[in-house]
Structure 1
């Protein structure tokens, strides 16, 4: 029977439909940008001075931002970003973001369509601090949708 408890956000996976894909390409510190908003247009009705009508136009999606600790492992995702941003060769990719339960089974799944890299950056290097280097990948995508997940 499904539980109605809120789902914790710390156990998740990200899987790209890219080749090659290595194990480091599914592990991230954070994922942000699963957000859709409705663009609207105001319409003023003649003779109606109390309010304006608001008409929906189209949906808009925020950029997806993926963060992870930098490793020396080979990464297909890094190669994909570099190919797009340095050589201007774009291969849009689909990806799946899943929130997982304690057994690693998906509880909620989102399919992200037609993503391309917009930026690829690394956190500052500072000899006065003992911090990990964080790799940040920003993606533009067409849309996302939640996929149904069977109950385990």
Structure 2
């Protein structure tokens, strides 16, 4: 692992762990690696103005991935289209790994997202007056995540 501190966000790779052959798709931007604790308020009996806040559960944001056009024949694109288009079929969840890569392609840090499935696929607007790259955004929900390294 590179000894760069703090690591610079060069680019990211997303890999499906099972059933997709470990094929990686690279992304320019990743957001939503967020976890927060929800709390529950409990009023104290006999002392009405006093409220206890106790931990209830962890909550996770959706994982949002952005890049240029995702290749149509990639395993991730097929999984997304099958999930979002085929409402008659059971949704297949996958564990996925998102890795921060350095300029040489070495993994600096990785996160494992368990029971992930796509909930949204967006293509940026088309504007002939601008010289911009078309960006696709993939949004995934998941049960929880862990840091691998």
Q: TM-score, normalised by structure 1?
A: 0.82
What are the residue-to-residue correspondences of 1:90-105 with 2, within 5 Å? 90-105=91-106
| Partner residue in 1 for 2:122 | 121
Q: Is the 8 A contact 1:67 1:134 kept in 2?
A: yes
What are the residue-to-residue correspondences of 1:23-102 with 2, within 5 Å? 25-48=24-47, 51-70=50-69, 74-88=73-87, 89=89, 90-102=91-103
For 2:47 and 2:4, locate their aligned partners in 1 and report how far apart those are by CA, in whole Å: 45
For 2:145 and 2:70, locate their aligned partners in 1 and report how far apart those are by CA, in whole Å: 29
Question: Secondary structure, in 3 states, of the residue corresponding to 1:132?
Answer: coil
Report the alpha carbon displacement of residue 91 of structure 1 after superposing the two structures with TM: 1.2
Q: TM-score, normalised by structure 2?
A: 0.84
Question: Secondary structure, in 3 states, of the residue corresponding to 1:130?
Answer: coil
Could you say what the CA RMSD is over the residues aligned between the two structures, in angstroms? 2.4
| Partner residue in 1 for 2:10 | 10
| Partner residue in 2 for 1:134 | 135
Report the alpha carbon displacement of residue 19 of structure 1 after superposing the two structures with TM: 2.1
Question: Secondary structure, in 3 states, of the residue corresponding to 1:26?
Answer: strand
